[in-house]
Amino acid sequence: TDLYEAPDYYLLDELLTEEHKLIRASVREWVKKEVSPIIEDHAQRAEFPKHLLKGLAEVGAFGPTVPEEYGGAGLDYMAYGIIMQEIERGDSGIRSTASVQGSLVMYPILAYGSEEQKHKYLPKLASGELMGCFGLTEPDHGSNPGGMVTNIKGAGDHYILNGAKMWISNAPFADIAIVWAKDEEGKIRGLIAERGMEGFTTPETHNKWSLRASATGELVFDNVKIPKENILPNVSGLKGPLGCLNQARYGIAWGALGAAMDCYDTALRYSKERVQFGRPIGGFQLQQKKLAEMITEITKGQLLVWRLAALKNEGRATAAQISMAKRNSVDVAIHIAREARQMLGGMGITGEYPIMRHMMNLESVITYEGTHDIHLLITGMDVTGENAFK
Ligand code: TGC
Ligand code: FAD
């Protein structure tokens, strides 16, 4: 049987261009050939499949919207979303690597970097020759990144960077890190730290039950000398990192639906094949209720992200709209994963099927890039004008 079916209950394909469909087919094919056969084993062993980086670059997963002059593919946001959806059908951890590289490393260099920084880093990041990570979260500052204590102090032609970042995707193998730190005036600045700089280490975080095929680590800075040309010149303040998060959250809104589709496809197929009490379990009303609700939620989610992509292409998507879509897609996906797991009975807990892995992965996805509750509060603030964070 075909590994993937593509739920398209409301004929959304008619709203995509031929190019979008070609991109989807090629990424889907790559995921099917390269990711799905190996991912379970890597997740079980808690090992990032580094050999996939080249393929990820080739399918255009690294900075697809970055202009061609900087090595990107110059695609629109619909294409970006579709790429994330297909990769996350494979695994949220692999999509994380793509999100970080494109939205959290290439985007800040493109949006806030100097012309020199763009030419120096972007083409190599697009091709995967250089890999990056994004350091915003600290041990004591997660949802409240504005409280960060990592800092830079000026001294001649360089700054001295001190502090620590935690929970950083790709940190253990990244060549460069986009780091957010406060300057002597307390303003948040972005800078590019490079592996090999003295005093910069990236200890790996072990024993995760979620995103096991993604490498997570810390960034530790002990009097690291950062040349002044490594500062991103064109932004200061929390809006710098939050602007990057808008990009990544947008991709997750599409991506999480990919994980949901994979769980739904798996449960639907299983329900037709698994016979109990003399008939396929898909014939029982309770199992149909689960499947009907899954396809309903996937379809609503698809319509939301399609419209969000159109708004984003026009430069009209607001941060609050992106928050709503990120929160909704991950919520839909995590519920579908849990229901799908039950539909597979005992088989649902094994690595023979992808569901339990998706379910565990989504526990990170619902927490990173702004937790479920933080995104709800962003919506609450947007509609009431009242800030309930503080
Ligand atoms: P607040 O006072 O509201 O805002 C400070 C400044 O930032 C601006 N701003 C935004 N700008 C762009 N995009 C957004 N989404 C923005 N939200 C706010 C705002 O206008 C203001 O600008 P200015 O010019 O007035 O200075 O900030 P706050 O301290 O009250 O915090 C607000 C809050 C809680 C919503 C925000 O801090 C937040 O989103 N917290 C969640 C933290 C988070 O998402 N961390 C993610 C870390 S990275 C990660 O998880 C990567 S996972 C790997 C992967 O993607 O696969
Ligand atoms: P906390 O902020 O301590 O939150 C704990 C709980 O309190 C949550 O339920 C939260 O919703 C709630 N809460 C907090 N504030 C409020 C409030 N005002 N009102 C109501 N409830 C509130 N970060 C990076 O910078 N780069 C990365 O690459 C990265 N990758 C990650 C990879 C993984 C696998 C994980 C798990 C995390 C990653 N993160 C990364 C960090 C992630 O963004 C944070 O975990 C997240 O922002 C939440 O921060 P926290 O874990 O400190 O939780």
- The residue contributing the CA closest to ligand 2 atom 26 is 168
Q: Is 370 in the pocket of ligand 1 (CB under 6 A)?
A: yes
Report the separation in Å between the CA atom of 242 and the middle of ligand 2, taken as the mean of its atom positions.
Answer: 14
pLDDT single digits (tens) 321-378? 999 999 999 999 999 999 999 999 999 999 999 999 999 999 999 999 999 999 999 9
Kindly give the number of the ligand 2 atom that is closest to the alpha carbon of 214: 34
Question: Which residues make Cβ contacts (< 8 Å) with residue 383, sequence separation at least 6?
Answer: none
Please compute the mean of the pLDDT values over residues 297-325 and round it to a whole number: 98
204 is catalytic: no
Question: Which residues make Cβ contacts (< 8 Å) with residue 322, sequence separation at least 6?
Answer: 246, 249, 250, 253, 308
Closest CA to 105 of 88, 124, 90: 124
What is the phi-psi region of residue 224: left when phi exceeds 0, alpha when psi lies from -120 to 50, beta otherwise? beta
Please compute the mean of the pLDDT values over residues 169-189 and round it to a whole number: 98
Token pair 């959250």 in the structure block, residue: 249
Q: Is the pLDDT of residue 27 over 50?
A: yes
Report the separation in Å between the CA atom of 169 and the middle of ligand 2, taken as the mean of its atom positions.
Answer: 13
* pLDDT at 181 (0 to 100): 98
State both tokens at 28: 């889907």
Residues above pLDDT 90, as percent of the chain: 97
Please compute the mean of the pLDDT values over residues 205-212 and round it to a whole number: 98
Residues above pLDDT 70, as percent of the chain: 99
State both tokens at 115: 């012309």
pLDDT single digits (tens) 54-93? 999 999 999 999 999 999 999 999 999 999 999 999 999 9
- The residue contributing the CA closest to ligand 1 atom 49 is 369
* pLDDT at 134 (0 to 100): 99
Helix (H) or strand (E) holding 359: helix 355-365
**Angle between the 372-384 and 319-343 helix axes, to the nearest 10 degrees?**
140
- Buried-state track 258-270, b at ≥16 Cβ within 10 A, e below 16: bbbbbbbbbbbbb
Please compute the mean of the pLDDT values over residues 176-201 and round it to a whole number: 98
| Cβ pair 369, 248 in contact under 8 A | yes
1 pLDDT band (50/70/90 cuts)?
very low
Report the separation in Å between the CA atom of 371 and the middle of ligand 2, taken as the mean of its atom positions.
Answer: 6
pLDDT single digits (tens) 214-248? 999 999 999 999 999 999 999 999 999 999 999 99
Please compute the mean of the pLDDT values over residues 159-181 and round it to a whole number: 98
Token pair 């080249």 in the structure block, residue: 54
- The residue contributing the CA closest to ligand 1 atom 12 is 243
Pairing of strands 158-169, 216-227: antiparallel
Say whether 45 sits in a helix, a strand or coil.
helix
**Sequential DSSP letters for 164-202:** EEEEEETTTT-SEEEEEEE-TTS-EEEEEEETT-TTEE-
Which ipTM did the prediction report?
0.98
pLDDT single digits (tens) 102-154? 999 999 999 999 999 999 999 999 999 999 999 999 999 999 999 999 999 99
- The residue contributing the CA closest to ligand 2 atom 17 is 389
User: Which numbered ligand comes closest to the C-alpha of 94?
Assistant: 1
User: Which numbered ligand comes closest to the C-alpha of 46?
Assistant: 2
6 pLDDT band (50/70/90 cuts)?
confident
* pLDDT at 315 (0 to 100): 97
156 vs 243: which has the higher pLDDT: 243
